[in-house]
Amino acid sequence: ITQGKLVIGLDITSKQDNLQIVGLVYNAILGDGANSMIFQNVREKASLAYSARSTFVKQKLNIFIRCGIQIENYEKAVELIKVQLENIKKGEFTEEDIENAKTYLIASLKNVAEEQDTEMIYYMGQEISKTDMTIEEYISKIENVTKEQIIELANSIGINTIYFLRN
């Protein structure tokens, strides 16, 4: 076996308004999708990962970064991921990165209404989280996220766990 599974857990400690929406946009920039920093820099440019993605768990205010990597690339991959986290903290991402993240998230939300099952799950999630937000309101909140909010959030994020499954 030459491939291992890297998981990095992040905690968000920010108390800012609109935290869950800002967290979604932050995560889309960081690692959720093909335009994300982790996908582009760790997988595409450095060729350190077979798969590279992050997931935001809004109910727990955690982000999990997951990468399938060659075992010998462990240290390089971890270091490059840490660089991406620091770059966002320093505001080293573009307005295009923000727009790509928002477009990605909004497209996903617009697809919710396309299938009855997906729409039911969306509204059930709204009920469980005691949120009463229509898809249109959700989209509006995403559109209003600013670079400053993303940087503020980024500076409240810390690594809580690095786990590497191998052999």
User: What pLDDT does residue 12 have?
Assistant: 97
3-state secondary structure of 3: strand
Residue 87's alpha-carbon distances to 16, 103, 145, 147, in angstroms, are: 20, 21, 18, 13
Q: Is 113 exposed, middle or buried (0-12, 13-18, 19+ CB in 10 A)?
A: exposed
User: What pLDDT does residue 121 have?
Assistant: 85
pLDDT in tens, the chain (167 residues): 679 999 999 999 999 989 999 999 999 999 999 999 999 999 999 999 999 999 999 889 999 999 999 999 999 999 999 999 999 999 999 999 999 999 999 999 988 878 888 888 888 877 877 777 888 999 999 999 999 999 999 999 999 999 999 98
Instruction: Please count the other Cβ atoms lying within 10 Å of the Cβ belonging to residue 82.
Output: 13
DSSP letter string, 43-80: IIIS--EEEEEEEEETTTTEEEEEEEEEGGGHHHHHHH
Q: Is 64 exposed, middle or buried (0-12, 13-18, 19+ CB in 10 A)?
A: middle
